[in-house]
Amino acid sequence: MKERISITIDEDMVKDLDSFVDGTKIKNRSHAIEVLLSRSLGHNRPRVAVFLLGGKGTRFRPITYEMPKALLPIQGKTVPEHLFDLFKKYGITKFVFSIGHMADKVIDYFGDGSKWGVEIIHVVEEEPLGSAGAIKLAREHLDGPFVVTNGDELKDIDLEEMYESHKENGAKITVALTTVEDPSAYGVAAMKGNRIMNFVEKPKREDAQSNLINSGLSIWEPSVLDIVPEGFSMYEKDVFPQLAEKGELFGYVFSGQWFDTGTPERFEKALKEWKGV
C-alpha cells in the first residue's frame, strides 16, 4: 500500500531528479524519488543470496574427483566469484553457501568471504538434500526475501528491477527467465502474462511451448520454506508446481548475458565469451 505525500526540495535538486526520468524504467518524478529512497534505505533488494554449491560435478570427472566444481576457474575466477560481482553491484554482500561434496575445500577457499568484502555463511549437507532441501537447510539465516542462485551459471541480471517486479506482482517466487535457441536441455516455462503456469522439463525442441528457460536464479519469500518437505526435495518438483497452481509463481525475463557451465562444452563457451558484469 502506498501513501501520497507532499515534499519541498531545492530547484537544482529537481533538475537532478528529472535527469533520472527516462519514461520507461523511471516513469516520472514521483517514481524517481521512490527509487532513490528505496536504494538509500536498502529496500530495493533482498539482503541475502543462497548459493547452491552441493553438486558432485560428475560431468567434469576425473577433475572433480579432487576438486569441487565450484573451484574451477573461468577467466581467472571461480563462478561464485563472478557472481559476487553481480550481487555486490546491487548491494547484496551476505551469502549463504549450501555445500556438500568436498565441503572442506570450498570452506578453505572462500572462508568467511572477507577477502572479497562480503560475508559468507556455510551450511553443509551431511547427505544430499536436493535443490529445495539445500535451501531449507539455510532457513535460520533467511528472515526476509532472498535470492537463490545455482553456483554453476554466469549471469548478468538487473536485480533491482527484478525485485521491483517481484514486489509489484505479490509473488512468492520470481524466477529469472532467459531465452535460448534450443530449450530442449532445460526446464521450459509455460507462461500466462508474467505468471508461470508450469515448467516442462527437457521437452523435444518442436514441442517446447516457448524458448524461455529457468536461468537458475530466483527471488523467494521466506514463507515458501514452510511448504518445503523435510529431507530430500527439489524445488522444480516439490515447490514450483504448488505455487504455480495458486498463481504465486512469476517470471522475470531478462536479456543480459547468461552462460550455463554445467558441461565441459558449455564451460568452454563461457570461458571464451563471458564479458563480466
93-118 pLDDT tens trace: 999 999 988 899 999 999 999 999 99
Is residue 11 in some structural domain? no
CA distance 155 to 84: 11
Q: What percent of the chain has pLDDT above 90?
A: 52
pLDDT at 33: 65
Out of 77, 202, 246, 272, pick the active-site residue: 202
Q: How many CB atoms lie within 10 A of CB 192?
A: 9
SS3 for 45-107, per residue?
CCCEEEEEECCCCHHHCCHHHCCCHHHCEECCEEHHHHHHHHHHHCCCCEEEEEECCCHHHHH
- Total length of the chain: 277
What are the pLDDT digits (tens) for 229-258? 888 999 988 999 999 999 999 999 998 899
Mean pLDDT for the stretch of residues 50-76: 86
pLDDT at 62: 85
What are the pLDDT digits (tens) for 154-169? 999 999 999 999 999 9
Q: Please tell me the total count of domains within the chain.
A: 1
- Residue scoring higher pLDDT (210 or 160): 160
Mean pLDDT for the stretch of residues 109-128: 94
CA distance 1 to 3: 7
Say which CATH number the domain at 167 has.
3.90.550.10
Mean pLDDT for the stretch of residues 126-153: 92
Please tell me the pTM assigned to this model: 0.85
Catalytic residue list contains 56: no
Is residue 145 in some structural domain? yes
pLDDT at 198: 86
Place of cell 527467465: 177
> To the nearest whole number, what is the mean pLDDT of the chain?
86
Mean pLDDT for the stretch of residues 192-210: 79
Is residue 19 in some structural domain? no
Q: What percent of the chain has pLDDT above 70?
A: 90
Is residue 9 in some structural domain? no
Is residue 118 in some structural domain? yes
Structural domain of 64: 41-273
Is residue 21 in some structural domain? no
* 122 in Cβ contact with 76 (< 8 Å): no
* Exposed / middle / buried, residue 109 (Cβ in 10 Å: 0-12, 13-18, 19+): middle
pLDDT at 38: 56
Is residue 267 in some structural domain? yes
Is residue 1 in some structural domain? no
